[in-house]
Structure 1
């Protein structure tokens, strides 16, 4: 692949173009490196509500929020979802700050995005990144113990002797 060009012949920044017009290289460059899409979520089977956890995919470097084997991730994590131009605006678990989601809805990138700021570390300083805030699935234990719901405290089930059942 050639060098990524920030602007086209018309002077327009590639990240301001509709997603359908981006090259594959430009598409990949939209990622802000926050790592939020690489954290596990739980879905309520009755309501469809999605609850975040602080558990990351085993391939996510929890200190940098970057995938340790992005090019071959599907070989190690077969259920890793491939974000596409068609799905970027429709996935409810993508954070509101996600560049793919923002651009799918025609919104501009935030000031901290590295394509705007020129600084890859800005995502971390803005508090958007999961770096240093998550635990790998290899170390987490029962994922239910890591669900993050404001106002709720996880408790062991009544009469439980740590069999992995939890109540919210």
Structure 2
């Protein structure tokens, strides 16, 4: 039995133990997971693009049709504890990944800051940095490869916003 004390739920529960509400509130709203990624067929290497899913609202960094996203976008990967453990492309700042790895959330996460806008203020989100995949040929994605989605804001890349 774990001693919960006054610790927040993400520090005392595993992803599997979280309620649906806790799970959903864990998302930081960065939108990085909604970016298209390319996988090298021969090596399996994943590279990120700044091409966003057509359902991603580039200003709010939220899905414009969250409830129906997997029906609308068949290759949308729904996150659950098993998926979080299996996929290797979640950004290093992803709260689901951090909790799975036994790490704490970053200061800009809304559950710590109390403000859903700090993820954007800290420069962690995709706000203003994407183009939509709508009408774009998949072959053109290669022209939009970027490295910033893989950056870990915990490595001194971002200073706290006052």
Give the TM interval when normalised to the shorter protein: 0.7 to 0.9
C-alpha separation between the residues in 1 aligned to 2:127 and 2:113? Answer: 19
Q: Does 1:68 align with 2:64?
A: yes
Deviation of the 1:87 alpha carbon: 2.2
- Structure 2 unaligned runs (5+)? 149-162
Given candidates 138, 141, 144, the residue that maps to 2:142 is 144
Instruction: Select between 93-102 and 14-23 the one with higher mean Cα deviation.
Output: 14-23
C-alpha separation between the residues in 2 aligned to 1:131 and 1:41? Answer: 17
C-alpha separation between the residues in 2 aligned to 1:124 and 1:148? Answer: 18
Q: Does 1:103 align with 2:99?
A: yes
Q: CA RMSD in A?
A: 1.7
Q: Does 1:37 align with 2:33?
A: yes
- Rg (Cα) greater in structure: 1
- Structure-to-structure mapping, 1:83-122, within 5 angstroms: 83-122=79-118
| Secondary structure of the structure 2 residue equivalent to 1:123 | helix
Q: Does 1:14 align with 2:12?
A: no
| Secondary structure of the structure 1 residue equivalent to 2:75 | coil
More helix per residue: 1 or 2?
2
C-alpha separation between the residues in 2 aligned to 1:12 and 1:86? Answer: 24
C-alpha separation between the residues in 2 aligned to 1:149 and 1:107? Answer: 23
The C-alpha deviation readout for 1:26-79, integer Å capped at 9, x for no partner, is: 111100000000000001112111110000000000112110110111121111
- Structure 1 unaligned runs (5+)? 1-8, 151-168
C-alpha separation between the residues in 2 aligned to 1:117 and 1:148? Answer: 28
The C-alpha deviation readout for 1:68-120, integer Å capped at 9, x for no partner, is: 11011112111111111122133211100000000001110111100001010
Q: Which has the higher contact order (CA 8 A, sep 6+)?
A: 2
C-alpha separation between the residues in 1 aligned to 2:131 and 2:22? Answer: 30
